């Protein structure tokens, strides 16, 4: 899976017999300081005529023994306290004699970064401030094909596809949550498991059956589409892992748990931000009934065979026109409409046109949310955020 993972490459040279000290060389692959998440410690050894085992320890605890070099170990830094830690490697010959020892100090910092004005969930900042979801597009130019895109979506009004008993649920878990096996139908475009999905994780109602789980200690999001319990783990059509600490996207032409190859949770309208904080500081996920075979970054995937250039591609970004008067609306609805003027909304999937997505939460007041249904799609315009990628 593409959670935050970095490689520590340790190259060990053997003792030169005529020398009173052991000669050792260490090479570190691109590695930030501090490190967080899962670290791959990869070790290669040279200069031993008959090489033997390689042992890797962290703070004195053995985490891997390989019969012969090269050797690698997965180190979950979330299981240790933040601060300086020591990686120690021993290279032995075939007779079991130590021929080289190398120590490396690393600084671990898994504290969530909640600096800046971006959105947060369970203490985790949802992507860096310059992430596309958090970008203010209120002054960006209108797309030259805006009118035709809007016309192709249709003449309907906004529809809140969330409320007290419907919408997409999510849950958060600690970094100690047991990881379970997952299998995917589209395994060539999914991040492999295991995932920290609890057995009672909430599942979206309807046919999509999304499951969204946030590791609140490492600030890593796990999402699955059409997910079902299977034995001790889960099966799903597709799955994706998102590290909130970095601006990673899916590989080109890859899907995610969403058709557009986008994360889902960052685009949900959430109760805590609308009602409790009174400020929604990110773009919103929404669906349209027909799309073209193309996408605009940060989307990475299409879900259509149509080459009609007037149909919206996945990742198309719309914003509510600045002149639209939001003053007659309930204060909670004003929070949402204000965000649609500032951050806009992004085409993430095929579905009913003008449906914006939010979390399922029993505290929502559906009568208040219904005011969104009076906002016509004609009050939106398309923002020019980049070229359309097509086959």
Q: Return the structure tokens found at 375.
A: 């906002």
Is 131 or 83 the better-scoring residue by pLDDT? 131
Q: Please give the pLDDT value at position 240.
A: 97
Using the 3D structure, point to which of 108, 131, 158 is the last residue of a domain.
108
The answer, yes or no, to whether residue 115 has pLDDT greater than 60, is no
The answer, yes or no, to whether residue 102 has pLDDT greater than 60, is yes
234 plus 200 within the same structural domain:
yes
Label residue 100 by pLDDT band (50, 70, 90).
confident
Q: How does strand 171-173 pair with strand 38-46?
A: unpaired
Is position 388 within any domain? no
Q: Which residue, among 118, 132, 151, has the nearest Cα to 317 in the 3D structure? A: 132
Backbone angles phi, psi at 140, to 5 degrees: -70, 155
Question: What is the mean pLDDT of the segment spanning 10-25?
Answer: 39
The answer, yes or no, to whether residue 83 has pLDDT greater than 50, is yes
Q: Structurally, how many domains does the chain consist of?
A: 2
Is 186 or 71 the better-scoring residue by pLDDT? 186
Q: Please give the pLDDT value at position 81.
A: 77
238 plus 175 within the same structural domain:
yes
Q: Give the up-direction half-sphere exposure of residue 15: CA atoms within 13 A in the CB hemisphere.
A: 15
Using the 3D structure, point to which of 85, 108, 131 is the last residue of a domain.
108
Question: What is the mean pLDDT of the segment spanning 237-258?
Answer: 95
Q: What is the CATH number of the domain that holds 48?
A: 2.60.40.10
Burial class (CB in 10 A: 0-12, 13-18, 19+), 184: buried
Is position 389 within any domain? no
The answer, yes or no, to whether residue 20 has pLDDT greater than 50, is no
Is position 95 within any domain? yes
Q: Please give the pLDDT value at position 49.
A: 81
Q: Answer whether 73's CB lies under 8 Å from 63's CB.
A: yes
Distance CA 29, CA 309 (A): 44
Q: Please give the pLDDT value at position 113.
A: 55
Is position 115 within any domain? no
The pTM of the whole model exceeds 0.85: no
The answer, yes or no, to whether residue 93 has pLDDT greater than 90, is no
Give the other-Cβ count within 10 Å of 366's Cβ.
12
Label residue 237 by pLDDT band (50, 70, 90).
very high
48 plus 82 within the same structural domain:
yes
153 plus 82 within the same structural domain:
no
Residue owning tokens 């070099």: 69
The parent domain of residue 272 ranges over: 120-383
Q: Which residues pair with 85 in a beta bridge?
A: 106
173 plus 48 within the same structural domain:
no
Backbone angles phi, psi at 335, to 5 degrees: -60, -45
Using the 3D structure, point to which of 108, 138, 164 is the last residue of a domain.
108
259 plus 379 within the same structural domain:
yes
Q: Please give the pLDDT value at position 21.
A: 39
Label residue 24 by pLDDT band (50, 70, 90).
very low
296 plus 358 within the same structural domain:
yes
Q: Which string of DSSP letters, residue by residue, matches 115-129?
A: -SSS-EETTEESS-T
Distance CA 240, CA 233 (A): 16
The answer, yes or no, to whether residue 125 has pLDDT greater than 80, is yes
Is position 321 within any domain? yes
Q: Answer whether 135's CB lies under 8 Å from 116's CB.
A: no
Q: Please give the pLDDT value at position 329.
A: 98
68 plus 10 within the same structural domain:
yes
The answer, yes or no, to whether residue 14 has pLDDT greater than 50, is no
Burial class (CB in 10 A: 0-12, 13-18, 19+), 118: buried
158 plus 78 within the same structural domain:
no
250 plus 281 within the same structural domain:
yes
Q: How does strand 317-320 pair with strand 5-13?
A: unpaired
355 plus 288 within the same structural domain:
yes
Is position 100 within any domain? yes
91 plus 132 within the same structural domain:
no
pLDDT tens digits, residue range 39-61? Answer: 788 888 888 888 889 888 889 98
Backbone angles phi, psi at 342, to 5 degrees: -90, -50
Q: Return the structure tokens found at 285.
A: 């996920």
Helix residue ranges per DSSP H, the chain:
146-153, 271, 331-342, 366-369
pLDDT tens digits, residue range 292-324? Answer: 999 999 999 999 999 999 999 999 999 999 999
Q: How does strand 83-93 pair with strand 98-108?
A: antiparallel
The answer, yes or no, to whether residue 221 has pLDDT greater than 50, is yes
């Amino acid at each position: 899976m593409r959670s935050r993972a970095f490689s520590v490459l340790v190259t060990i040279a053997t003792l030169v017999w005529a020398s009173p000290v052991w000669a050792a060389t260490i090479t570190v692959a691109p590695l930030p300081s501090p490190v967080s998440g899962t670290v791959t410690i990869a070790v290669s050894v040279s200069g031993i005529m008959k090489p033997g085992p390689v042992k890797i320890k962290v703070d004195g605890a053995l985490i891997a023994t390989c019969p012969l070099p090269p050797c690698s170990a997965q180190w979950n830094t979330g299981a240790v306290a933040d601060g300086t830690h020591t990686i120690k490697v021993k290279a032995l010959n075939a007779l079991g004699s130590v021929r080289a020892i190398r120590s490396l100090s690393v600084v671990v910092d898994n504290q969530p970064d909640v600096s800046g004005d971006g959105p947060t969930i369970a203490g985790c900042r949802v992507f860096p401030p310059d992430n596309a979801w958090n970008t203010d597009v209120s002054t960006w130019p209108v797309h030259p094909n805006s009118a035709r895109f809007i016309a192709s979506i249709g003449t309907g009004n906004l529809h809140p596809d969330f409320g007290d008993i419907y919408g997409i649920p999510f849950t958060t878990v600690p970094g100690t949550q047991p990881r379970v096996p997952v299998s995917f139908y589209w395994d060539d475009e999914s991040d492999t498991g295991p995932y920290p999905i609890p057995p009672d994780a909430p599942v979206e109602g309807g046919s999509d059956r999304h499951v969204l789980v946030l590791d609140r200690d490492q600030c890593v999001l796990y999402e699955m589409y059409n997910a079902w319990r299977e034995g001790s783990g889960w099966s799903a059509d597709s799955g994706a892992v998102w590290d909130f600490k970095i601006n990673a996207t899916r590989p080109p032409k890859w899907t995610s748990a969403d058709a557009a190859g986008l994360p889902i949770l960052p685009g949900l309208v959430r109760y805590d931000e609308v009602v409790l904080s009174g400020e929604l500081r990110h773009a919103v996920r929404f669906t349209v009934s027909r799309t073209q075979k193309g996408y605009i970054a940060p989307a990475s995937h299409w879900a259509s065979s149509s080459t009609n250039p007037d149909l919206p591609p996945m990742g198309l970004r719309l914003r509510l026109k600045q002149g639209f008067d939001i003053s007659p609306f309930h204060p909670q609805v004003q929070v949402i409409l204000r965000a649609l003027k500032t951050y806009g909304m992004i085409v993430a999937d095929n579905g009913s046109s003008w449906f914006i997505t939010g979390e399922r939460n029993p505290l929502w007041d559906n009568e208040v949310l219904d005011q969104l249904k009076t906002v016509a799609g004609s009050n939106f315009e398309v923002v020019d955020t980049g070229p359309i990628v097509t086959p």
